[in-house]
Amino acid sequence: MNISIFGLGYVGCVSLGCLAKNGHTVVGVDKVAHKVKLINEGKPTIIEKGVDELIRCQHKAGRISATKDYEAAVLNTDLSIICVGTPSTSNGHLNLDYIYKVAAEIGASIRKKNSFHVIAIRSTVLPGTNRKVGAILEEASGTKRNEQFAVVSNPEFLREGSALHDYYHPAVTVLGGDHQGALRVMSKIYADVEAPIEQVDIEVAELIKYVNNAFHALKISFANEVGNVCKKLDIDSHQVMDLFCKDTHLNISPAYLKPGFAYGGSCLPKDLKALKTIAHDHYLNAPILHAIEESNTVQKQLAYEMVLEAGRRNVAILGLSFKAGTDDLRHSPIVEVTERLLGKGFSIRIYDKNVNLSKISGTNKAYIDAHIPHLSDLISNDLEEVVGPSDVIVVNQRNKSFEQILAKYPDKKVVDLVKVELASANGNYQGICW
């Protein structure tokens, strides 16, 4: 395939060489004459292990070249990949001027083409950029999106220092687009890459890089805070974190990494508090450890506000314990939300088949007595009795019977804290963070 790459910086240079190595004929486009000159001499524009040899070999094979002439590049290729920079502005936003300028140039060139052209955005951009690029292309080309051209979001996951390995061995190749033909074109160019191809919504493809990097930053800072605590306690921090990483069931895994309601129970709040106390007692500033509880409080506040905004006073709570399949009410976030709603004069009915008040004892009983002392007047083991008279249903646990009864009452307001599976979700449904 004939491919043009706009932007010969880090991502552009690596992509240029790798695509050429895969058999494509690739032309790089850049405004900087020196970068164009380097490529045309068979030299890379960046310093990276293996890239110099890659560019030299592919240039010698006649598969790569570079130019400042964007129009010629577009007219002589079927796919243009945008790899220009998106630097931060002084207020933290992204400067997308380079992206939009390239889009206008590609659009003006498409106006002179008779064939369909695919544009892929590899640059890291904010959600909504793909749509705006499409609008710019329409205006500049005088054509319609998905008739004369298509725009695909294809974020890169290259790390400096290991870019060549990362290009050919990513965890996943992400494609976001609204034109099946363009998605097939992009899938073909990654046929030699050892990774599954995930076709997702455009905005998902645009956001994922930010989520990835924010989590990477969080992991580094979390490990550093643990290390600081360990040092104060004269404990080997690397041994602690090596052991931590060996748990691939819960720690280094998809476990808990699903958007939803707040955490609770007898362990997480208690042990987090203990670790924070250790840091405090040793005069350590541990902002991430302290922010965890604050974030959890925000999530409980969101749930509370969603019930208020539903505008109805009769509320059914489906699931009271902190986790399905248990009767543990200690620090259950829905207990706190229920307590606040009762304080506001809401009429509350509760269903939880695992909570038997006659069997609750010890700290579990003490906790619920302190927060909802008259729970026996509110709870029932009859699901229909709880849901029937209610106007708002708050779903706090996954349960097939909950899905069935929600389908039976499509006109009731639903506040979903766990992402239940519904056959249809009408305007009365709202998820806490979806």
Which residues are designated catalytic?
A: 267
Edge-to-edge strand ranges of the sheet holding 379-380: 379-380, 347-351, 314-318, 392-395, 413-416, 429-431
**Contact yes or no for 400/319 (Cβ under 8 A):** no
Distance separating alpha carbons of residues 144 and 134, to the nearest angstrom:
9
- Joined together, the tokens standing for residue 407 give 């389908």
- Joined together, the tokens standing for residue 108 give 């003006």
User: Which residues make Cβ contacts (< 8 Å) with residue 78, sequence separation at least 6?
Assistant: 1, 2, 3, 115, 116, 117, 118, 185
Among candidates 126, 113, 191, 120, which has minimal Cα distance to 152?
A: 120
Pair type for strands 413-416 and 429-431: parallel
Which stretch of DSSP H or E encloses residue 152?
strand 149-153
Q: What is the DSSP letter of 377?
A: G
**Contact yes or no for 204/139 (Cβ under 8 A):** no
Distance separating alpha carbons of residues 93 and 129, to the nearest angstrom:
13
- Which amino acid would we find at residue 6? F
Helices (H) and strands (E) in the chain, counts: 16, 14
CA distances from 170 to 28, 192, 196, 353 (A): 23, 12, 9, 45
Distance separating alpha carbons of residues 93 and 65, to the nearest angstrom:
34
